[in-house]
Amino acid sequence: MTFEYVSRSALENDNTIYLMTECLEFIRKNRIIFPAITTLERLIWESKEYAEKKIISTIAESLTIAQKSKLDEVLSLDHPNDKTKTLLAWLKEPTGFPSPDNFLKVVDKIEYIRKLNLETLKVNHLHQNRIIQIYKLGFRYEPYAFRRFDKDKRYTILAIFLLNLSKELTDKAFEIHDRQILNLLSKGRKAQEAIQKQNGKKLNEKVIHFANLGSALIKAKDEGIDPFDAIESIIDWSSFVSSVQEAQDLTRPADYDYLDLLEKRFSFLRRYTPTLVKSLEFRSTKSKEPLLDAINILHKLNETGKRKVPVDAPIEFISKRWKKHVFEKDGSINRHYYEMAVLTELRELREQVRAGDISVVGSKQYRDFEDYLFTKDEWINSINSTRLSVNTSFDEYMKERVNSLNERLDFVSGNFKTLENVSIKNGKISISRLEKDTPKEAKQLSTELYQMLPRVKLTDVLMDIADITGFHEQFTHASNNRKPDKDETILIMAALLGMGTNIGLSKMADATPGVTYKKLANISQWRMHDDAMIRAQATLVNFHNKLHLPCNWGDGTTSSSDGMRMQLGVSSLHADSNPHYGTGKGATIYRFTSDQFSSYYTKIINTNSRDATHVLDGLLNHETDLNIEEHYTDTAGYTDQVFGLTHLLGFKFAPRIRDISDIKLYTLNKANSYLNLENLMRGKVNENIIKENYEDILRLAHSIREGKVSSSLILGKLGSYSRQNSLSTALREMGKIEKSIFILDYISSEELRRKIQKGLNKGEAMNGLARAIFFGKQGQLRERTIQNQLQRASALNIIINAINIWNTLYLEKAIDYKKSADGNFQEALLANISPLGWEHINMLGEYSFKRSDNAIINGLRPLNIP
């Protein structure tokens, strides 16, 4: 019975630690006598072996002889245009900067994989987690490593890798098109601005002439003077005629649009767009989609070589802005502008693609919306065991939320004049700035404690914390799960520092005696994978959580998240510019910080992506022991839909809202039911639409909770829906209830406002430490792919947590010394001490990982006591 359960689990996830945890939990629940540890280890090993054999046999049997032959060619043949690399190496190459040439390169890869016909693989029975694990493993293997496996295992890993790679490449191709259209429109705007700048002086002259002529004509009418004489008193007639002609040449369209300037860019688009309409297949949930019909027409025109667009070509999707250029004076269709209109509208249609109304065949990110959720039958079967925090009965849910909202409305309505540092006048909420409450004595104590901490090198911090916590043991080999030995541990520490300080592996090898770049590259590829980074981070966070001092800062149930914008020093598909952060393109490291100063989750997001989309990813997907119940963000971290989902998933969401004076409340009763608050009410929540979609909303939330789909992906799709979409609207209405409840709590409690402020301050302090550590390459990311950028961010996070633990341990030791020397030590001041100081840590110089045991006494170094 236990073997069967663990074997089923191994089909989902082959991580040894995960399986051991599942096994122990199963034994406890079923009250089975615990066997010897060697028996458990053998059971886990046999379960993993059984699961692997079953997956391999199923996949291998679904491959034809021709497919297996093609897979062998991927490993053995060189790329036709570059004999220095195999086909596998070519397929793995990063996409690079979004350009027409790179689009064609991506499509070449897609077409090559399509010829393998891997859609016939029997993978539907495989859990998505297992597919992702095999895909990541396949990405790491070089051809020589694949050849070491028996044929069936080699074909299985390679086939699953290529099948999923094709989906990612399809997403990248669509992203490149999106960037090209944005670039096209940007070039048009800039061309118009250049014309304006170039003709500025001439335009000013014409305006002066117009003003002078206007004044002369007004005077002529008032005094009865001949208007032509009045004009010639200002400018002679021939000069006037020439001036009018010059003015006509300087004019721009009446609506000051720049679409007329895009004609010159058409040839640039044609470098890739025929391949786009040929290679990417779009499908719609609607029976007829005019834009998709137009794409098919363009494809036929390209295939046949015809130039003229048929007179019956679909035009319903073309906006008024484009129509004046698409149609010629004789009513015919301008091919260039029709094609640009189609391609631009396809970019605008991207929001429908994101939402799932239109899907891209072979895509991972742009599938049909329903594909991401559990089916209705699956939801019905699991409804009694769901981990959602609300009642599955709509009536019970609504009754509870109505009571919660009305209770707060009644309180604020009856006490609005006595709310602490809050005033409500003329429908506006005004909240006084929070006064700083950190005692001077706390600052003095912090200075004294940090002066006692020993001066230490960053290398020693990592080695000390590895010895104390054993976090390095989580960097198991991606292929065989073997723990690192002593020499590999040193390489792991060196690689962590190379990536976490951003000096890179090459510079780290130069600065570390006995370490080579080849060794560091190998260790980073095989041991510093996502799962290992997450486990190592969780080990550090869990260790810190059990220490005594962090209890003064919080109990580990609240956290905050904040983005740290990083410039990208290389061309990357995912790099974007954001005027809010200055010039240059970049990405954002989005970090989650607990109330105990632990950094428990991090991810890389687009610099223009709203933080709110990613909040639930961190709350749901961290693998630490922290039980986060309440989460704080800045203004960019909230939307109505996030308010709704966080409540469904059991989290209290508490953002700091910048423009709270403009915030309005929603109610489920009439607005005039609450005296003094009528002007704050925007309207009633649409209860009917929530009721109509309640089951689907619960199914969506359940799919997120159980890991069927990430919250960031689904929130991105929901945010792309038109406001008329019932599911998106219903979740937004639910969010209005939660937001109104939160706002009422926020203005009622200065304690809550102060908690939010302190939580966000901890995240900002964390970013300060992160920038101090990440000093290499002027703090710029130089990695092209999100995966490699995330590896850097994760290494940085591990170093942050190592410093956090090291400081905490020595602060505890310094505090004990202070207590023994001072009988009047004020314990309450410890709540204001931060473990994020770094002035005593040397982050520069030669990096040595040799242990100096003479410096260690009872597990710790001696304090720096004057």
For the segment 452-495, what is each residue's pLDDT rounded down to a tens digit?
Answer: 999 999 999 999 999 999 999 999 988 878 899 999 999 999 99
Question: Quick check: 29 pLDDT over 90?
Answer: no
| Residue located via tokens 């989290």 | 651
Distance CA 861, CA 467 (A): 13
What contacts 24+ positions apart, CB below 8 Å, involve 388-391? 388/648, 388/649, 388/650, 388/698, 388/701, 388/702, 388/705, 389/647, 389/648, 389/649, 389/650, 390/647, 390/648, 390/698
For the segment 538-587, what is each residue's pLDDT rounded down to a tens digit?
Answer: 999 999 999 999 999 999 999 999 999 888 877 776 666 665 556 677 88
Backbone angles phi, psi at 619, to 5 degrees: -70, -30
Question: Quick check: 268 pLDDT over 60?
Answer: yes
Distance CA 168, CA 174 (A): 10
Distance CA 742, CA 736 (A): 10
Nearest in space to 495 (alpha carbons), one of 473, 469, 474, 515: 515
Nearest in space to 536 (alpha carbons), one of 611, 474, 619: 474
Strands 652-655 and 630-633: parallel
For 785-814, what is the mean pLDDT? 94
Residues with Cβ < 8 Å from 360, sequence gap 6 or more? 170, 171, 174, 280, 281, 282, 353, 366, 367
| Residue located via tokens 């090559």 | 112
Between helices 151-198 and 200-223, what is the axis angle to 10°?
A: 40
Q: Which residues pair with 456 in a beta bridge?
A: 841
Where on the phi/psi map is residue 683: left (φ > 0), alpha (ψ -120 to 50), or beta? left
For 218-234, what is the mean pLDDT? 84
595 vs 866, residue with greater confidence:
595
What contacts 24+ positions apart, CB below 8 Å, involve 195-199? 195/252, 195/261, 199/250
State the DSSP code for 283: E
Q: Which of 125-129, 275-279, 819-823 has the lowest mean pLDDT?
A: 125-129
Question: Quick check: 502 pLDDT over 70?
Answer: yes
Question: Quick check: 803 pLDDT over 50?
Answer: yes
The runs of H, that is alpha helices, within 30-84 are 37-61, 65-76
For 777-794, what is the mean pLDDT? 89
Distance CA 753, CA 795 (A): 33
pLDDT at 720: 66
Residue length of the chain: 866
H/E stretch holding 82 reads strand 82-86
pLDDT at 357: 61
Strands 841-842 and 585-594: unpaired
Question: Quick check: 246 pLDDT over 90?
Answer: no
Distance CA 781, CA 589 (A): 10
- Residue 66 carries which side chain, given as an amino acid letter? A
| Residue located via tokens 């990613």 | 614
Residues with Cβ < 8 Å from 182, sequence gap 6 or more? 347
Q: What is the mean pLDDT of the chain?
A: 87
Please compute Rg for the chain using Cα positions: 32
Residues with Cβ < 8 Å from 325, sequence gap 6 or more? 259, 260, 334, 337, 341
Backbone angles phi, psi at 654, to 5 degrees: -140, 80
Distance CA 180, CA 106 (A): 14
pTM: 0.83
For the segment 155-212, what is each residue's pLDDT rounded down to a tens digit?
Answer: 999 999 999 999 999 999 998 998 898 888 888 888 888 888 888 888 888 888 888 8
- Give the torsion through C-alpha atoms of 619, 621, 626, 629, to 10 deg: 30
- Residue 845 carries which side chain, given as an amino acid letter? G
Distance CA 720, CA 348 (A): 11
Backbone angles phi, psi at 426, to 5 degrees: 55, 40
Distance CA 172, CA 164 (A): 13
Question: Quick check: 287 pLDDT over 60?
Answer: no
Confidence band for 857, pLDDT divided at 50, 70 and 90: low
Question: Quick check: 856 pLDDT over 80?
Answer: no
Q: Which of 68-72, 237-241, 689-693 has the lowest mean pLDDT?
A: 237-241
| Residue located via tokens 């025929």 | 274
Question: Quick check: 705 pLDDT over 70?
Answer: yes
Given a contact cutoff of 8 angstroms between Cβ atoms, the answer to whether 488 and 477 are in contact is no
Nearest in space to 640 (alpha carbons), one of 735, 728, 566: 735
Distance CA 856, CA 859 (A): 6
**3-class SS at 562?**
strand
- Tell me the DSSP string of 759-771: HHHHHHHHHHHHH
For 29-35, what is the mean pLDDT? 85
The share of the chain scoring above pLDDT 90, in percent, equals 42
| Residue located via tokens 């915030």 | 663
- Residue 137 carries which side chain, given as an amino acid letter? L
pLDDT at 431: 87
For the segment 119-150, what is each residue's pLDDT rounded down to a tens digit?
Answer: 888 777 777 778 888 888 888 888 888 888 88
Given a contact cutoff of 8 angstroms between Cβ atoms, the answer to whether 619 and 712 are in contact is no
- Give the torsion through C-alpha atoms of 624, 625, 628, 632, to 10 deg: -40
Question: Quick check: 834 pLDDT over 90?
Answer: yes
Q: Which CA distances in Å does 692 have to 394, 428, 683, 737? A: 10, 34, 20, 17
The runs of H, that is alpha helices, within 199-289 are 200-223, 227-232, 237-250, 266-269, 273-279
- Residue 101 carries which side chain, given as an amino acid letter? D
Strands 558-567 and 630-633: parallel
Question: Quick check: 215 pLDDT over 80?
Answer: yes
For the segment 617-662, what is each residue's pLDDT rounded down to a tens digit?
Answer: 999 988 899 999 999 998 776 889 999 999 999 999 999 887 787 7
Confidence band for 686, pLDDT divided at 50, 70 and 90: very high
pLDDT at 723: 46
- Give the torsion through C-alpha atoms of 505, 510, 516, 520, to 10 deg: -20
pLDDT at 170: 94
Q: Which residues pair with 562 in a beta bridge?
A: 591
pLDDT at 709: 87
